[in-house]
Amino acid sequence: MMKRSPALAASALLFLSSHALAGEAEIKAAADAAARTIMQQHDVPGLAIAVTRNGDRDVFNYGVAARDSGLPVTDDTIFEVGSVSKTFTAALGGVAMHKGLMKPGDPAGAFLPWLGDGALARTPVMNLATYTAGGLPLQFPDGVTDDASMHAWFAGWKPTSAPGDSRQYSNPSIGLYGATVAAAMDGDFAELMQREIILPLELRSTFTRVPDERMDDYAWGLNRNGRQVRVNPGALDTQAYGIKTTASDLALFLEAQMDDGSLDGGLAQTHRPQFRIGPMLQAYGWEIYEDPADLDALLAGNSTDMAMKPQDARPLEAEPTLSHALYNKTGSTAGFGAYAAFLPDRQAGIAILANRSYPNADRIRAAHAILRAMGAID
């Protein structure tokens, strides 16, 4: 369970007081302004913004779910959330650890014998979950086209640094973590996600694969060439970027993150920071900022360099006390852009979903402005 200072209760009371001053109209005005700016500057067809405060949820919808049909974005519109999916994978791992089926220091090879005697077989699963396995790349190479080629690539992969020395943001890394979790739980990853995360949290519009009866609610994304697209299948895609959900469901997921008892405490495991990476702390899936008011730190931590270049990783000697922290994750696919953030001590969160990818910096600025209007950021 994450450590919180004795000032937490007082901080929460302060938020309740400030929230009384932050009325619905002010919050909606901030959301409207953010949506207008994003949609105009980046030619975004549709957008949904969900905010949650002390368990009360509001959703603001803008534009269309598909440019060719002109159907409006509604509370039922399903968006791809890209790498925000990694926090769902982390959640499943937290459940596995809480059940005693795996530990952070367990080597990946203990669960995946096909890793053979390669470097990854000896790598602790915690390093896979935090992108610190030793330089796994952002994406799989083109030659990885099926399970056999994926297994061979992982088994033969050679690190460029020791586990824990550097962070290289990586879909294969979190994907392999998801594979170890599924093996530890002796099941199919998508089925486990449904059984252990989606159903218990009552996420009724959250899917690894959108069912036929909900396809009319599934938005079409717009890629950089202006073509309507949806995500293509790929190696370990469900684990790394495969979740599709509504803004309201994602806000409900954030509410669960702010309840230390959620999933019998399984989610709390994912909030434990493992490394200091520049301006942020890297936890399981989530990235943590100790001063939510520091917009420059948020922008730096969600920059292109953080995603594309190796960063020095400093292991934490002791778990820090997080009295007023912001947890966040960005996500994109070819046609969608997402952002999710929550502040446990203020019991406040925000999800911004769009059917076009656009720069992370503008997602951060929009969320920051809305959280300020909510009174969640001083």
Active site residues: 83, 169
Render 107-165 in DSSP notation, one character per residue.
BGGGT-GGGTTSGGGGSBHHHHHTT-SS---SS--TT--SHHHHHHHHHH---SS-TTS
> How many other C-beta atoms are found inside a 10 Å radius of the C-beta of residue 23?
11
CB 121 within 8 A of CB 115: yes
**Can you say how many angstroms the Cα of residue 375 is from the centroid of all Cα atoms in its chain?**
23
Pairing of strands 275-277, 280-282: antiparallel
Q: Decide if 150 contacts 235 (C-beta within 8 A).
A: yes
CA distance 87 to 376: 22
Question: Which string of DSSP letters, residue by residue, matches 339-365?
Answer: EEEEEGGGTEEEEEEESB---HHHHHH
Q: Which of 227, 256, 283 is nearest to 93 (CA)?
A: 283
Q: Provide the token pair at 368.
A: 């920051």
Beta-sheet strands, E only, within the chain = 46-53, 56-63, 79-80, 166-167, 221-222, 228-229, 244-245, 275-277, 280-282, 287-289, 311-312, 314-315, 326-332, 337-343, 348-354
Beta bridge partners of 49: 60, 352
CA within 13 Å, CB half, 314: 10
- Residues 231 and 219 sit within 8 Å (Cβ to Cβ): no
Q: Is the CB of residue 247 less than 8 Å from the CB of residue 59?
A: yes
Q: How far apart are CA 256 and CA 253, in angstroms?
A: 5
